[in-house]
A and B are shown apart, each in its own frame.
Chain A
Amino acid sequence: MSPRRWPPLGFELQVALRFLREGRFQSLLIVVGVAAGVAVVAYITALVGGLQRNTLEKTLGAQAHVVLTPMEETVLAARVPAPGEAAFSDTQARAQRLRTLANWPAVVQVLESRPGVTAVSPMVAGAALAQRGEATRSVNVAGVELERYERVVGLGAKRVAGTLRLAPGEAIVGVTLASDLGLRVGDRFVASTGARQESLRIAALVDLGVAELNRRSVYVPLRSAQSLFDLAGGATRVDVSLDDVWAARELAAELSRELPAKVESWQDTNAQLVSALNAQSVSTTIIRGVVMVVVVLGIASVLVVSVVQKQREIGILRAMGATRGQVMGVFLVQGALVGLLGAVLGVVLAAVMIELFTRFVKGSDGLPLFAITLPPAVALQVALLAWGAGVLAAVAPARRAARMDPAQAIRL
């Protein structure tokens, strides 16, 4: 019955464009408003994203994403309670000896074949004393296969002296520990556990970025640690590194179901950090929401005024054969155009703000505090959001325009 219109929205688009051009000042006002909103949202998103990435890098740079350790030893009941019978017992928890992770070479293999896993590193870790002459310090000895461990933690970037290698009898130690014991690269010290001791030569010094770690860390070859702690062929933990750090918790849950081991993700061991990051994300979302609401209200109020101003023209359009839907379309398209233009300008503005931040906000070392970038996906997402907001804001004014009584509109 009704003839096909081509292109769709041809009429709406042309009239909307003219209306926007006619009310240049108003149009400029809303476009600037939308652009400011979009810029704030994009900038905040990029800033918080950069901040979180930076925090995560600093935190996770020195630790594995998922750690497997042996199950804790528990006291077993001497007799299995009969059905319907409950055992009320009061037992002292067992002291946890250093034990090896059961069947760890197979576990390492299984983990390495898992998608999303980038590195797996077995380790023997335990407490020892480091001695040189009169000086003694308690240290944490970590026995690792350097190439594997390197891929989990990346000691290379933290090296401050010496060469990064772990030949038999060599050790890599934290800088503070070295100065406490008066050690330099090439010097020797003795590491001793209760039963055994070994003389180690320092191959490299590392700055791990955390005072406590610098004071206590001693890396030795896996075999040295195995013999120091009397765990021949063992490993007390396995470190796992992932592509996507946020997948750690899920993987940990899966692994603890599949393997007879205690599995912890970095989120478990850094619960405070995770909740801080979450709080940050929630605040960002709230700010974004509020800004978008303001943008919607801004567009809507200007369009409402425009509908009132254009009453007579709307009446003429209706009289000459524009349907209600078409009149509504004219105002929806105006919202969409303003949203789109504002979004594009806003993204450009955000990029400029980010560039200024990187250029002028610097740390004490003269380097940018942290890298913030506007990922294209975020820019697109924000732009689409603003575009949608434009259309949404136009709904109420557009309905009002469509409902207008043409006879009355013309008479005005």
Chain B
Amino acid sequence: MSQALAPLLQLRGLRKTYNAGRPNEVEVLHGIDLSLARGEFAALIGPSGSGKSTLLNILGLLERPSGGDYELDGRSVRTLDDDGLTAMRRRTLGFVFQFHHLLPAFTALENVTLPALARDGHVSAAVRERARALLDGVGLGAAMQRKPTELSGGMQQRVAIARALALEPALVLADEPTGNLDTASSDDVFALLRRIHAQADTSFLVVTHDPRLAARCDRVVEMMDGRIARDEAMVSARGGVP
């Protein structure tokens, strides 16, 4: 990927404090500096309680930082109000959660078209076509009309990935995307993420516990006690896509 491009996201001295001003006040992020280029595929690792999830939530605009600066897609998010953050999220971000988090009342295809429905108020033929193509791409061409409860865990996670990609985000944030799957499904899903990454200009930031998966990312950022303890490129992983 081109180094000339401005970074997709840039954190400077980012802090997060919970229960500010109360006796149980606690700072969980102590000044994070991090930047992610367009098209990167990075892993975020670290033990429980190291602040990974908080960082991911802030990156995903689901939580606000207490201090420091966060620039996403060339724009500081500090000044945005809730609707502004939502619009930004819609334009720039896709989410894949550990527990699939599909809406059980909607079919696989409808789950994938939901972001467009929220954006446009209707589902256009083009949107539906793209959703079909995405589901085809994750190997679920035959299961589009099924409800999440009729799908296996691995299949649900594939639907969630297709949904994350529905609005062509610049960045996909994945929180333990394989944490709830057995080894075989886990490998499948991860391989799928890498394949999508190889085809599109989308960046990925994957939170994982699994060192095997982390080793298959291009870059590993390790957190420890609310700080970045290690940040290195995994040169060997490039081209290691199955």
Contacts and interface: CB of A to CB of B under 8 A. Distances in A.
B115 A406 contact: no
Interface residues of A, number: 33
Given A8-B121, A410-B101, A321 B62 contact: no
A3 B119 contact: yes
Contacts of A315: 101
A80 interface: no
A146 B121 CA distance: 71
Contact of B105 (A19, A312, A318, A322): A19
A244 interface: no
A226 interface: no
A316 B86 contact: no
Contacts of B101: 312, 315-316, 410
A410 B106 contact: no
B163 interface: yes
Contact of B118 (A6, A320, A405, A411): A320
Interface in B47-97: 53, 57, 60, 62-63, 82-83, 86-87, 89-90, 95, 97
B83 A324 contact: yes
B118 A322 contact: yes
Contacts of A410: 62, 97, 101
B241 interface: no
A407 B57 contact: yes
A322 B120 CA distance: 11
Contact of B119 (A318, A321, A406, A411): A321
A97 interface: no
A27 B33 CA distance: 49
Interface in B113-129: 114-115, 117-122
Contact of B86 (A9, A21, A22, A324): A324
Contact of A5 (B82, B95, B104, B121): B121
B167 interface: yes
A10 interface: yes
A319 B62 contact: yes
A313 interface: yes
A172 B163 CA distance: 90
B105 A22 contact: yes
Interface size class, chain B: 20 to 34
B121 A407 contact: no
Nearest to A409: B62
A319 B89 contact: yes
Contacts of B133: none
Nearest to A5: B121
Contacts of A14: 117
B117 A22 contact: no
A378 B52 CA distance: 61
B117 A11 contact: yes
Contacts of B60: 319, 407
A315 B95 CA distance: 11
Contacts of A7: 121-122
A368 interface: no
Nearest to A7: B121
Which of A3, A9, A316 has its CB near the most chain B CB atoms (within 10 A)?
A316
Interface in A1-50: 2-3, 5-11, 14, 18-19, 21-22
Contact of B62 (A5, A19, A313, A406): A406
A139 to B, nearest CB: 79
Contact of B90 (A21, A321, A406): A321
Contacts of A318: 62, 86
B228 to A, nearest CB: 21
A235 to B, nearest CB: 72
B192 to A, nearest CB: 19
A320 B95 contact: yes
B103 interface: yes
Interface string A324-344: 111000000000000000000
A6 B122 contact: yes
A26 B132 CA distance: 33
Interface of A: 2-3, 5-11, 14, 18-19, 21-22, 312-313, 315-326, 405-407, 410-411
Given A22-B104, A318-B86, A320-B163, 14 more contacts: A5-B119, A7-B122, A9-B121, A10-B122, A11-B121, A18-B105, A19-B105, A316-B97, A319-B60, A321-B115, A322-B86, A323-B118, A407-B57, A410-B97
